[in-house]
Structure formats: C-alpha cells, structure tokens
Homo-oligomer: A and B are copies of this chain.
Amino acid sequence: MKEFALKAALDEVRQSVPLVHCITNYVTVNDCANALLACGGSPIMSDEPLDVEDITSICGGLVLNIGTLNANTIQGMRLAAAKATQLGHPIVLDPVGAGASALRTETASELLDAYGISVIRGNMSEVRALAGASSTTRGVDVDPGDVVTEDNLAESAAFARDVAKRAHAVVAITGAIDIVATETDAFAVRNGSALMGKITGAGCMLSAVCGAYAVAGQDALLEATLAAVCGMGVAGEMAAARMTPACGNGSFRTYLLDALFNMDGNALEKHAKVEQL
C-alpha cells in the first residue's frame, strides 16, 4: 500500500510525538490515553471551560468525543474547538451515540457546523444521524439496518463522500468494513476483528489515535486517517491472534493496546487491506 504512505504516516507520529488534547467520555478515557501513548502520541485530558483554552493552546490537535457529555463539558468543547480552529489545529469529532438522544445529535451537529472539524470518526448510525439522514439507533452500537456490507458498499461510499464534501472533512465510518473518504476519494478497509465490538472503547481509542495522526499528518489528512484506521484494524487482528481459550474481552483489551504499542510501519503496510472504491 505504498501509495497511501501508511508507513510514513506512522513513522511521522512516532517521531513527532504529537500532544493531543482530548475532551472525551469518562467510560473509555483511560483507554484513549493509553492508546495515544501506544501509538506514539501524548495525551492530555481537560474539559473544564476555564481550563480548555490554555490546554488546547499547548497541544497540536483536539479530539471531541461526545459520549457522557454534560452541560459543562459541552461548553468546554465549544471553547476548545473555537481556540483550536483559531490556531489551525486539526479537530477530530467522534459523535458517540448521535441519534440516540436529541442532546447528542444536536451537540455533534453544532460542533460540526460551528468549528473547523478535520476528521469525523463514527459508526454508520452515528454519522447518518450527524448528517441529518434518518436513522434508527441502538445506543452506541450501529443499527443492524445501517451496517456497511459488500452489497451496499458503493452506496455507503457515496454517502461518506457526500458527508465529507458538506463537512469539508475526512470521514471515517468504521465497522466490519471501514470507509474512509474525502469529497473526491473513498477507500474500504477490511481489517479488524469482531472482538473489537466486545470491548468498550475500540471506536473511542481509534478517534483518539486519529487525533495523533491528524496532528502529525496535517498536510495529508486522508493518508493519515487511513493509516490510523488500518493500524487499529491490524492491531485488532494481532490481538485476536494472541487469544487462548481462557481469554475474553479483558485480555483482548490488553492485547489491543499491546498491538498498537508494537505496531511498526512495515507490519502496517504488509497487513493493511485497503481498496480504493
């Protein structure tokens, strides 16, 4: 996959150690911090409105994850996003549970419309809700009717490109098949493991990692996001390969971080399954 420069994107993260400000949910925040460290970045978490502008200013990028948002953290997201936009920092938006509540849908939409979001990372139900497309929802999981399959791949890619066009952002819709798209290009990524859906936080971790890749690869956001998505998928496969009969989602969570930590650019390029659509 030399043409997508996956190895270069990974190496750039490890060499530059991007400092990433995360305003993220308290369910998976520890996993997000460890995932950022594993991939070669450095995390700092802060959500208090009085704190976020200073913190974002010393970082290279911002990740906004709306799981467990509250009135105070929403205000923190606004101030941090305004400051990051002003500073030209890439912002990753993870619309966790958009479609599951009015507050989540509206907050995600407001953040997308009002600030300079660079990357959107969610499952298909969340991205559909964010885009104003009608969607049922099953909490923080994708609705069965929204799953990307080989049969609806072209249609799903067209949708992703359309969202990317309207949002002026790279769109990463992840699931059994991932789609990464800009206005003009779309790619399918067929890496990963079903076990990633059996731990909490695989999506949140990916969004955090996308933040590090976006900082390091700000001039090539599509390639950077593709590298992050492929990297998480390959890490999922490596983690799954270590599972023994006694292992469950506790071990898988540990192994997933281990695999992110040990991933190198050559392994990433060797195992990535990327198809231009």
Contacts and interface: CB of A to CB of B under 8 A. Distances in A.
A259 to B, nearest CB: 7
Given A70-B47, A103-B48, A139 B254 contact: no
Query: Interface centre among A38, A71, A72, A101, by most B CB within 10 Å?
Result: A101
A34 B254 contact: no
Contacts of A257: 248-250, 253
**Looking at chain A, what size class is its interface with the partner chain?**
35 or more
Nearest to A25: B45
A201 B248 contact: no
Nearest to A141: B42
A93 B42 CA distance: 23
A31 B51 CA distance: 24
A260 B198 CA distance: 12
Contacts of A102: 54
Contact of A58 (B55, B100, B198, B250): B100
A30 interface: yes
Contacts of A250: 34, 38, 253-258, 261
Interface in A15-73: 19, 25-31, 33-34, 37-38, 42-48, 50-51, 54-55, 58-59, 67-72
